[in-house]
Structures are given as structure tokens and as C-alpha cells.
């Protein structure tokens, strides 16, 4: 069983906030895959369904962001799950809007929801960070994360959510790099395998080597040419 936890704040007041992109992602997966209606349990809204042939629990903690771990931890203990059975989806200030990163473990990066998950669930769970961009100065961070997505943001937010929902079964199969490629392409980026790799330049031949081993110039025709070709091959051509 896998728990997919979308992080955010409860209530209509926060529904469109950048900080609630985890809730938005959970809702997109819920709609696309015919999960059960949302119900209340574990201090959260939960919904059961199946992805990739495995049972999945979607969870949206209703404890407010800073206490997200209380809800998710309670669900994990109830189902006797390990950190490896958890995927958390949340906003990331330090990624440009629309960029996504998925990794196991790591620091909380100052994110209070992740700090709470770390405390209640352990740290070795998978973290799907969805970029919302940084406002540029620390003083504007709270206003930025608790502000609603702008209309212009829909150009990347909608395809990102649709692609994540379409390919949510990859989370179950742990096809993390493939999922990241699909999300990158959805917002106009490049898949990892499509990024140009620097071509390896042939090693420069030492001028000393060149001086010590000059290539012989072979006569073009005649008996001498035939003899030298037998000795040196076709190196001069």
C-alpha cells in the first residue's frame, strides 16, 4: 500500500494558494482515477483507490500545514506502513514555477509541513517538490506562498497537474525519473535524455609526439610507392 499525501491548508480561504499545490495535486489524482469520495479520518480528508494494481490512500491533512505530520503519521501507524510507503507532494520556493523534483529523504528546506512529517513519519520517504518560485526577498515569502496562483500561472499549473494525474501510477512503480521527464515535457522543458550532452573532443596530439613521429609522405605512383605502401600501409593517404 502507498500513501500519497498532498500538503496544504484546509478551507476555501486557502484553496487557491501556492502553498496548497499539494492539495491541488491530490485532487487531480482523485478525479482522474475514480478514487472513493473524500471522507474524514486521521485528522485528514482521505480517499482510497488503486494505481498500477496497488492500493493507494490519498490524504490531505486538515491540521494546517505546520502539523501535517500528525495526520500522516496517524495513518501510517494505522496501516503499519514504513517511510518508504509514503510520497509527500508539496510546494518548493527554491524551484522555478512548474519545475518538479522527486527524491528520497533530505532536509526540510525550511518547509514547516515537511519538518512535521519528518518528526512524525521518519525522513526516508519520497518527496515530490513542485516549484512555485521565490518572490526574491525574504520579506515577501509569506505573502507569496499564501497568495493565490495568478491567471498566468495556469499556463504551467494545469498541464503539470494533468500530467501528474495521468501518470500517477508511476509513483507506485517507482518510475521516478520517467515521471520527472513527463512533467518536464508537460511544461515545455526537456526530458533528461533529450538534454544535449557535451561531445567528447578528441584528445589533442602532443606537438612533441607529432615532432617525433612524422607521418611519411608516400609517392603517388611507381615501384617505390608500391614498396612503401607495403611497409607503411596506406597511412599517407
Any bridge partners for residue 129, and if so which? Answer: 90, 101
Q: Is 66 annotated as a binding residue?
A: yes
Does 20 count as an annotated binding residue?
A: no
Flag whether 234 is marked binding.
no
Distance separating alpha carbons of residues 92 and 68, to the nearest angstrom: 16
With left for phi above 0 and alpha for psi between -120 and 50, is residue 108 left, alpha or beta? alpha
**64 annotated as ligand-binding:** yes
Q: Is 19 labeled as catalytic in the residue annotation?
A: yes
Separation of first and last alpha carbons in the chain = 67
Catalytic residue ranges: 19
Residues belonging to the binding site for tRNA are 14, 64, 66, 112
Amino acid at each position: 500500500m502507498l500513501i500519497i499525501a498532498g500538503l496544504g491548508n484546509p478551507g476555501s480561504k486557502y484553496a487557491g494558494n501556492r502553498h496548497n499545490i499539494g492539495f491541488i495535486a491530490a485532487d487531480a489524482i482523485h478525479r482522474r482515477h475514480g478514487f472513493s469520495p473524500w471522507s474524514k479520518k486521521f485528522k485528514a480528508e482521505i480517499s482510497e483507490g488503486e494505481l498500477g494494481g496497488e492500493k493507494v490512500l490519498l490524504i490531505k491533512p486538515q491540521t494546517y500545514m505546520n502539523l501535517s505530520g500528525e495526520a500522516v503519521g496517524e495513518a501510517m501507524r494505522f496501516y503499519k506502513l514504513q517511510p518508504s510507503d509514503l510520497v509527500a507532494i508539496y510546494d518548493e520556493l527554491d524551484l522555478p514555477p512548474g519545475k518538479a523534483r522527486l527524491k528520497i529523504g533530505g532536509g526540510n528546506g525550511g518547509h514547516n509541513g515537511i519538518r512535521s512529517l519528518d518528526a512524525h513519519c521518519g525522513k526516508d520517504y519520497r518527496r515530490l517538490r513542485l516549484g512555485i518560485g521565490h518572490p526574491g526577498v525574504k520579506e515577501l515569502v509569506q505573502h507569496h506562498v499564501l497568495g493565490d496562483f495568478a491567471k498566468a500561472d495556469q499556463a504551467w499549473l494545469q498541464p503539470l497537474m494533468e500530467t501528474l494525474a495521468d501518470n500517477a501510477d508511476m509513483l507506485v512503480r517507482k518510475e521516478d525519473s520517467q515521471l520527472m521527464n513527463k512533467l518536464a515535457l508537460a511544461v515545455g522543458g526537456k526530458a533528461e535524455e533529450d538534454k544535449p550532452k557535451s561531445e567528447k573532443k578528441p584528445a589533442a596530439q602532443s606537438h612533441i609526439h607529432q615532432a617525433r613521429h612524422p607521418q611519411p609522405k608516400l609517392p603517388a605512383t611507381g615501384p617505390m610507392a608500391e614498396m612503401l605502401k607495403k611497409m607503411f600501409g596506406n597511412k599517407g593517404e
